[in-house]
Structure 1
Amino acid sequence: MASRLTDLDLLATFLEIYRGGSLTSAATRRGLTQPAVSGQLAKLEKELGEPLFVRSSRGVTPTPRADDLARRVGGHVDQLRTALEPGGTLEGTVRVGGAAEFMTVRGLPALAPLTRRGLRVEVTFGLAGDLLAALRAAKLDVVLSSVRPAAGFTATPFTDEEFLLVGPPLLARTVDQDLLATDPARALEHLPLVAYDGGLPIIRRYWRSEFGTRPANTVAVTVPDLRAVLAAVIAGAGVSALPRYLAEPALAAGSVEQLHHPEVPPLNTLYVVTRGTTTAATDAVAEHLRSRDWGVL
């Protein structure tokens, strides 16, 4: 049975690549890392004995074998995935709050299986403090929070965000590698920053954790969306600290480079937070999120 489920997993990943036209979109929809998707595709191609896609800088193009395979297995795999999902029909609406970036890239794909069981999901984007206040006021049912809440909530850690310091290749070339090894803050202080907020919350935390000091760098761009931060970094505006799940596709494409390689990467724990009183639908969402194998994001 385990091997059959593994084969189904490989085919499900294949279909996401085929339908989305890229490994990156497949990773997002499957809730996996891009290397994991690449590994599953390589395993399936090895089992079939021929390539399924032609890779290019713009994504992937299916081979005739891939077209044939998608026609033959697509509908069957979709039905099997739905049938094998745990639990029965879910009724009701669950109001879920979380950061826009995490919910878009990881949270919503993770919740998709519950919608196939009948659940309705209403999503609110916002900062952790605002979302927890809305949860306390019964305006939300579940919050995915980057801040551990105070008493009065049920909070369970479910994954860790790993932060990377990244910059465009041209700026990366200006870093003195010898100085970086001995005095990293000084080696990096000439680089302009792209920040999420004027208080530099993520960047300041990275500098304090890794270098024991506050950043002395100038700030070139401030924009309240980490996806926009990444876009500005790719365009050459500066450098920033970003979660791996956002930076990884750009790293794989060579659009950005990791500027600093700490022995222990800085992590930020994420929590599934609910009120004391819940419904069956809320409990199903919270348990689904807590039990998912997120890995390190």
Structure 2
Amino acid sequence: MPELDLLATFLEIHRTGSLTAAAARRGLSQPAVSGQLARLERQLGEQLFERTNQGVRATARADTLASQIAPHVDKLRGAFDPADEACLARHGLLRLGGPAELTTLRVLPALVPLTTRGLRLRVQFGLAADLLTALLEERLDLVVSAVRPTQRGLAATPFVDEEFLLVGPPALARTVRAEALAQDPVRALAHLPLVAYAEELPIIRRYWRSAFGRRPPNELAVVVPDLRAVLTAVVAGMGVSVLPRYVAEPALAAGSVELLHEPEVPPLNTGFLATRVGGLADPVVALAYRQLLDRAKLWPTL
């Protein structure tokens, strides 16, 4: 069986189409790369590349060999050299699950440095319970969960804190009297129709209980299962809602919505990065996990 170094050099030649470029990527001299290629061709008993004026052109045998060994060689190189992130990302596949809004607005942009190096992503949106089940059943590799997993076989690390804001369009905000809000906020807000993510009012109910100690008595006007659509409905004047700061911030800055209430202690929800127990032994999962945790350190409370 050819040595790992020979196969790694072969893959760099195949990917770059150049002995010189492969040498630079491998940190070797060009004669050393040429020697390793010649040695591999002798062991296989076949020519892998044809020399051209522009570099080298892979033979059909080289294309077949590269497709067969690339994922395995990259993972082995990453296991022996965890710092070789480009090697891990290239040809790696990550099956990621998370809530649509947080994944779209924060998580996917955070993974761009890996996708530009070749990481392939397959993303699934959904509720935490469904995504964690898919993780347990090995249909996903990494999940951004709005709740801490309790299932045996799963491990989780705190990832981000979401801050919730009660917002409404300016026209409805003007119907809330400041003195009434200070004396009895539940009554002062009770006439405002709600726009919710779900019939059970998961985010709104949490805000009311945290800020006011009770459930909201308000009429539920609109239910739409996407927080960005909730914001759109609020901006249009359909009602008020509770949204994570990272969703509401652009509309607040533009004046399209206004804060209706500012509690002394902002309601927060901690999101988690969840894997199967032992899942970080997969170097591709570990690479994405580290990337997300490192990037989250730069975010303010969401």
Same fold (TM over 0.5): yes
Deviates more, 1:192-201 or 1:111-120: 111-120
How far apart are residue 117 of structure 1 and its match? 1.9
Q: Secondary structure at the match of 2:211?
A: helix
How far apart are residue 108 of structure 1 and its match? 0.7
Deviates more, 1:144-153 or 1:85-94: 85-94
Deviations 1:125-176 (A, max 9, x none): 0000000000000000000000100132110001100000000000000001
288, 292, 295: which one aligns with 1:289: 292
Matches within 5 A, 1:157-196: 157-196=158-197
Deviations 1:187-225 (A, max 9, x none): 100000001100111101100000001100001101111
Q: Which residue of 2 aligns with 1:112?
A: 112
Deviations 1:224-251 (A, max 9, x none): 1111100000000000000000000000
* Unmatched 5+ stretches in structure 1: 1-84
Q: Which residue of 2 aligns with 1:41?
A: none
Matches within 5 A, 1:55-94: 87-89=85-87, 90=89, 91-94=91-94
Counterpart AA for 1:112 = V
* Unmatched 5+ stretches in structure 2: 1-82
Counterpart AA for 2:289 = A
Q: Secondary structure at the match of 2:269?
A: strand
Does the aligned pair in 2 maintain the 1:156–1:290 contact within 8 Å? no
Q: Which residue of 1 aligns with 2:252?
A: 251
Q: Which residue of 2 aligns with 1:21?
A: none
Q: 2-side partners of 1:110 and 1:172: how far apart?
A: 35
Q: 2-side partners of 1:113 and 1:266: how far apart?
A: 32
Counterpart AA for 2:300 = G
Aligned length: 213
Q: 2-side partners of 1:169 and 1:205: how far apart?
A: 24
Q: Secondary structure at the match of 1:282?
A: helix
User: Percent identity between the aligned chains?
Assistant: 62
Q: 2-side partners of 1:181 and 1:202: how far apart?
A: 22
How far apart are residue 287 of structure 1 and its match? 1.3
Q: 2-side partners of 1:131 and 1:142: how far apart?
A: 9
How far apart are residue 107 of structure 1 and its match? 1.1
Does the aligned pair in 2 maintain the 1:193–1:240 contact within 8 Å? yes
Q: Which residue of 2 aligns with 1:125?
A: 125
What's the TM-score, normalizing by structure 2? 0.69
How far apart are residue 271 of structure 1 and its match? 0.4
Runs of 4+ off more than 4 Å: none
What's the TM-score, normalizing by structure 1? 0.70
Counterpart AA for 2:301 = V
How far apart are residue 86 of structure 1 and its match? 8.4
